[in-house]
A and B are shown apart, each in its own frame.
Chain A
Amino acid sequence: MTTDVLLPAEGTVPGAAVAVPVPATPRERLARLGRFLRGRPGLVVSIVFVALVLVAAFVPSVLAPGDPTLGVPADKLQAPGLGHVLGTDYLGRDVYTRVVHGASLSLQATVIAVAVALVVGGLIGLLAGFVGRWVDETLMRFVDVLLAIPAILLSLALITALGFGTVKVAIAVGIASVANFARVMRAETLRVRRSTYVEAARSVGTRWYVTLRRHVLPNAAGPVLVLAVLEFGLAILAVSSLSFLGYGAPPPAPEWGSLVAEGRNYLATAWWLCAMPGFAIAATVLSVNRISRALDGEWARFS
């Protein structure tokens, strides 16, 4: 349907954002990076925050040595202070420790979700764009159907079929965002497929799957990878929403979404139960968004 509209003029440099040559010494490149970051304090904060979240996800004990599931009922519902930086919850568990340890579950789910969406969506898009004809038609109508169903509704339906748990939530969120990846991947593949070097490769008799792997995929992947970073933020939100609704890991696992859900009943008396994990979710999503914007050509345009 949209095939011809997306066609670029013959001879355009493929993947302009990715393949800009920067003939510079490492020293010059570092200086350029320094200038780039100096003008963008928001980006620096985002990178630092995402780095911290990644540390929390892989080695949470470095940031919070305590046990996230062990509470001291005598210390319950203490406000943020010196003993407990972010306060304690209704069983006297340290909120900071729970948020830090929650990062690993929430990010694990997010990574799986984005990976599922990237791989499945990417393959569908690649196949549709490269083979064309009825394969394209069939796959894209399937993608249209996926796009027509609201993502959260689709995830909920899948959860009902798959059952509860972190990995299942991740798969449900991933499948719900397959369509976006398929669309972008297909558009890129269509563009690259018509370029001269691909046609040249075909004309000298390169096998179709070699062409696909060596020429089409690397040149079409750039925008999809940027989309993956962007989707990462949305997936954190979707995973947290589902875990808020109680579909994630069983208690007492501290997923960010379920932490917010647990705090709801104490909103009037202990605001920090909802606010702290909520802040973690919001800050991570915003940071990832900022980074994906930087990746999406901001660096390439910077001189």
Chain B
Amino acid sequence: MRRGWTVAALATTAALTLSACGSGGGADPAADAGPPRPGGTLTFAVSSDQGCADPQQVTSNDSVYSVRQLVDSLTDQDPATGAITPWLATSFEPNADATAYDFTLRPGVTFSDGTKLDANAVKANFDRVPALGARASLPKGYLSGYQGTTVTSPTTFTVRFGKPNAQFLQATSTHSLGILSPASAAKTDDQRCAGVIGSGPFVLESYVKDQATVLTKRTGYNWGSSLFTHPGEAYLDRAEFRVVPESGVRTGSLQAGEIDAVASIGPQDEAPLSGAGIALPARANPGLPFGITFNQATPLGSDPAVREAVSLGINRPEVVGAVFTSQTKPATSVLASSTPSFADNAALLGFDAARAGTVLDAAGWTAGPDGIRVKNGQKLTLPITFANNLSTVKPALELIQQQLRAVGIDAQLQEKQISDTPQIQQSGQYTALWANLTRADPDILRSSFWSGGTNYYRFKPGPLDALLTGQAAAVDPAKRAASVAQAQKLILTEHFTVPVVELTTTLGIAPTTHDVAFDASSRIQLHDTWKSE
């Protein structure tokens, strides 16, 4: 008993001493960083946790940041050009109508449990994806029409689809189709959420829901993406992702040198952080901007006048200027401007409160005594469901609420947990949802707005479907871009979704931390990250 106490006391003292040394060293700003050096622990603060550590089942950026490091993908995507480049696959080739893809794998890759990453392992992953639950809406959409994988040798295989699937190649570069070990892939959804085994530059050491994800370096890693700046193992020994819900605490800890990097900072923190010598790299997230998307199965969501009035009633530049960081731009289409095939539709997303009133008047929504419009005794009360996963979400929605009130729409804000979002989408228990979705491919439109897919927004079959499936089948990039442009225009003229602001990921990086790289989806890649000191 007494001996145990002594050991515990010694351990505590040692830990305190170590942490004291660590924070003292980390606070020193390095004037000249010099060449990259291996070693060190990166502490990264995120604001939320989706409650899952399986890259194939997470969609929230805060969770993607950590689990992305656990897996390698077949391909990588160049953030500058959007080009697909080799990673696990040394060569990849679609057939003429994009219904089959031939891949050749790099030899000698192993998972961290020792098993080989070969064609059969990839097949096990892809075969398992269609059976995943609601959390895995992304990979399921990427593999829609999946007919099977034919393994021709340990390093070559062909992925076959029942209909043309032009977006699949980009999909193989995302975290959602990162390759897990066959043992992990075979587990149940919930077991996988507790932690998975991959072949990535980092290995999951521990995952505690809503607290922390700890990664350690994979020793012997030698199969990095062609886009990584150095071959071999990652520089960092460990990477610790801590969930810190308060943005004030995150930025305060970063300023104090307690942590090395934060995701999602607010506009009020920009000046203090850059004053403290902290770098603030930013990149607009491709995909769907933040906006309000309606549930078409609800009376309000299927009322075109209400949807149009919401779109006309929101003053996007005011929202962006008041709530978001200076690098953020208002939405100008249903796709963010950094997405390939983006078409500028700013003219369809103007602010016109007077016209919003006219539209509502024409539809029979007349102004009531308290300023809220009424039709057949029914008040125009629009519940908007949101997850408070970024510090900017609530202020933005409060301002939108105020703007909509001015045109006679009573927006009610209903806060839900980020981990509940897939269930809410699947159950359809909402009228309008505040959300975004990140992906560097225009096929994101089909994932969200196609009546034949997961169809979380309850679309009825219509002319939009042909455009969305058409772009998915178009092998010719020009043809595809034309379909995507038409789809964007149609979605905006029907106001199925009301895009408001492009999510711009702004990181705060301490002066001693270097080369935290954005990937094409504006998430981070830590293989090349290193710490001076």
Q: Which of A's residues lie within 8 Å of B, judged by CB?
A: 69-71, 73, 76-77, 90-92, 246, 250-252, 262, 264-270
Q: Quick one: closest A residue to B272, CB to CB?
A: A268
Q: How far is A257 from B95 in the complex, measured between Cα atoms in Å?
A: 61
A70-B402, A91-B399, A250-B415 are contacts. A265–B321 as well, Cβ < 8 Å?
no
A250-B415, A265-B246, A266-B268 are contacts. A90–B252 as well, Cβ < 8 Å?
no
Q: Quick one: closest B residue to A270, CB to CB?
A: B268
- Cβ-Cβ contact count across A and B, 8 Å cutoff: 65
Q: B399 to A266, Cβ gap below 8 A?
A: no
A-facing mask of B385-408, CB < 8 A → 1, else 0? 000100100110111011001000
Q: A90 to B322, Cβ gap below 8 A?
A: yes
Q: A91 to B322, Cβ gap below 8 A?
A: yes
A-facing mask of B118-131, CB < 8 A → 1, else 0? 00000000000000
Q: How far is A76 from B266 in the complex, measured between Cα atoms in Å?
A: 14
Q: Quick one: closest A residue to B250, CB to CB?
A: A265
Q: How far is A91 from B400 in the complex, measured between Cα atoms in Å?
A: 11
Q: How large is the interface on B (under 10, 10 to 19, 20 to 34, 35 or more residues)?
A: 20 to 34
Question: Shortest distance in angstroms between B442's beta carbon and chain A's nearest beta carbon?
Answer: 33
Q: Give the residues in chain B near A266, CB-CB below 8 Å.
A: 248, 268
Question: Shortest distance in angstroms between A12's beta carbon and chain B's nearest beta carbon?
Answer: 53
Partner of A73, one of B397, B399, B405: B399
A71-B399, A73-B321 are contacts. A265–B268 as well, Cβ < 8 Å?
yes
Q: Give the residues in chain A near B268, CB-CB below 8 Å.
A: 77, 90, 265-266, 268-270
Q: Give the residues in chain A near B251, CB-CB below 8 Å.
A: 268
Q: A265 to B391, Cβ gap below 8 A?
A: yes
Is B522 part of the contact surface with A, judged by Cβ < 8 Å? Answer: no
Q: Quick one: closest A residue to B397, CB to CB?
A: A251
Q: B248 to A268, Cβ gap below 8 A?
A: yes
3 A-B pairs closest in CB distance: A73-B322, A265-B247, A269-B268
27 A–B contacts, CB within 8 A, in A order: A69-B401, A70-B402, A71-B398, A71-B399, A73-B399, A76-B322, A77-B268, A90-B268, A90-B395, A91-B323, A91-B398, A246-B415, A250-B412, A250-B413, A251-B394, A252-B402, A252-B413, A264-B247, A264-B248, A265-B246, A265-B247, A265-B266, A267-B248, A268-B248, A268-B252, A268-B272, A269-B272
Q: Quick one: closest A residue to B252, CB to CB?
A: A268
Q: Give the residues in chain B near A77, CB-CB below 8 Å.
A: 268
Q: Give the residues in chain B near A265, CB-CB below 8 Å.
A: 246-248, 266, 268, 391
Q: Give the residues in chain B near A91, CB-CB below 8 Å.
A: 322-323, 395, 398-399, 402
Q: Give the residues in chain A near B413, CB-CB below 8 Å.
A: 250-252
Question: Shortest distance in angstroms between A247's beta carbon and chain B's nearest beta carbon?
Answer: 10
Q: Give the residues in chain A near B246, CB-CB below 8 Å.
A: 264-265
Q: Give the residues in chain B near A268, CB-CB below 8 Å.
A: 248, 251-252, 268-269, 272
Is B102 part of the contact surface with A, judged by Cβ < 8 Å? Answer: no
Residue of B272, B395, B405 most packed against chain A (CB within 10 A): B395
Question: Shortest distance in angstroms between A87's beta carbon and chain B's nearest beta carbon?
Answer: 13
Q: Which of B's residues lie within 8 Å of A, judged by CB?
A: 246-248, 251-252, 266, 268-269, 271-272, 318, 321-323, 388, 391, 394-395, 397-399, 401-402, 405, 412-415
Q: How far is A73 from B395 in the complex, measured between Cα atoms in Å?
A: 11
Q: How far is A128 from B29 in the complex, measured between Cα atoms in Å?
A: 68
Q: How far is A76 from B402 in the complex, measured between Cα atoms in Å?
A: 15
Q: How far is A160 from B397 in the complex, measured between Cα atoms in Å?
A: 24
Q: How far is A90 from B397 in the complex, measured between Cα atoms in Å?
A: 12
Q: Quick one: closest B residue to A73, CB to CB?
A: B322
Q: Give the residues in chain A near B266, CB-CB below 8 Å.
A: 265
Q: How far is A269 from B397 in the complex, measured between Cα atoms in Å?
A: 22
Question: Shortest distance in angstroms between B508's beta carbon and chain A's nearest beta carbon?
Answer: 13
Question: Shortest distance in angstroms between B231's beta carbon and chain A's nearest beta carbon?
Answer: 41
Q: Give the residues in chain A near B318, CB-CB below 8 Å.
A: 73
Q: How far is A270 from B322 in the complex, measured between Cα atoms in Å?
A: 15
Q: How far is A252 from B321 in the complex, measured between Cα atoms in Å?
A: 19
Q: Give the residues in chain B near A73, CB-CB below 8 Å.
A: 318, 321-322, 399
Q: Give the residues in chain A near B322, CB-CB below 8 Å.
A: 73, 76, 90-92
Q: Give the residues in chain A near B391, CB-CB below 8 Å.
A: 265
Beyond known contacts A69-B402, A270-B268: 13 more, CB 8 A cutoff? A71-B398, A71-B402, A91-B398, A91-B399, A246-B415, A251-B397, A251-B401, A262-B394, A264-B246, A265-B268, A265-B391, A266-B268, A268-B248
Q: Give the residues in chain B near A71, CB-CB below 8 Å.
A: 398-399, 402
A90-B323, A266-B248, A268-B252 are contacts. A251–B269 as well, Cβ < 8 Å?
no
Q: Quick one: closest B residue to A90, CB to CB?
A: B395
Question: Shortest distance in angstroms between A169's beta carbon and chain B's nearest beta carbon?
Answer: 14
Q: Quick one: closest B residue to A252, CB to CB?
A: B398
Q: Give the residues in chain B near A69, CB-CB below 8 Å.
A: 401-402, 405
Question: Shortest distance in angstroms between B108's beta carbon and chain A's nearest beta carbon?
Answer: 48
Q: B398 to A250, Cβ gap below 8 A?
A: no
Question: Shortest distance in angstroms between B37's beta carbon and chain A's nearest beta carbon?
Answer: 32
Q: How far is A252 from B402 in the complex, measured between Cα atoms in Å?
A: 9
Q: Quick one: closest A residue to B405, CB to CB?
A: A69
Q: How far is A268 from B399 in the complex, measured between Cα atoms in Å?
A: 22
Q: Give the residues in chain B near A76, CB-CB below 8 Å.
A: 322
Q: How far is A268 from B388 in the complex, measured between Cα atoms in Å?
A: 21
A246-B415, A266-B268 are contacts. A251–B248 as well, Cβ < 8 Å?
no
Q: Quick one: closest A residue to B268, CB to CB?
A: A269
Residue of A90, A250, A265, A266 most packed against chain B (CB within 10 A): A265
Question: Shortest distance in angstroms between B373's beta carbon and chain A's nearest beta carbon?
Answer: 18
Q: How far is A252 from B398 in the complex, measured between Cα atoms in Å?
A: 6
Q: How far is A251 from B413 in the complex, measured between Cα atoms in Å?
A: 6
Q: Give the residues in chain A near B402, CB-CB below 8 Å.
A: 69-71, 91, 252
Q: Quick one: closest A residue to B323, CB to CB?
A: A90
Q: Give the residues in chain A near B415, CB-CB below 8 Å.
A: 246, 250-251
Question: Shortest distance in angstroms between A243's beta carbon and chain B's nearest beta carbon?
Answer: 12
Question: Shortest distance in angstroms between B513's beta carbon and chain A's nearest beta carbon?
Answer: 21
Q: How far is A265 from B413 in the complex, measured between Cα atoms in Å?
A: 20
Q: Give the residues in chain A near B247, CB-CB below 8 Å.
A: 264-265
